[in-house]
Structure 1
Amino acid sequence: VFDRESVSAYFYAGNLWVGYDNQRSVAGKIGYAKRKGLVGYFFWELSQDSNWSLATQ
């Protein structure tokens, strides 16, 4: 599921909830940073991007 308000993706099953960044959320957050004149963007975990599909965008 993509939540437009928090600009994040998540899924849940029963009482398990997992939030994560995907291509859409990373693009939205980087766009926000650029519009605000910020000079960087940080995200927590890169090791799961094994084929660098998000990191090279």
Structure 2
Amino acid sequence: IFNVPLNNTLAAVDPASANGGAVWATYLRDWVMWNHVRTITAIVALACFIVAWR
């Protein structure tokens, strides 16, 4: 949902351009945030599974 648009934006930018650094910084910030969301969601899902299993 979020990674594909981020990857497409990053792929469209020339890394040697002046804008490349800004795009990379935005990409990294957003990717890390959504990676944390995915990690927390997986932990919550595991906790729900364990509670339901008991």
Q: Considering Cα pairs closer than 8 Å and 6+ residues apart, tell me whether 1 or 2 has the greater RCO.
A: 2
TM bucket (normalised to shorter chain) is 0.3 to 0.5
The structure with the largest helix share of the pair is: 2
Higher strand fraction (1 or 2): 1
Over alpha carbons, which structure has the higher Rg? 2
After TM superposition, the score normalised by the length of structure 1 is 0.33
Normalised to the residue count of structure 2, the TM-score between the two structures is: 0.35
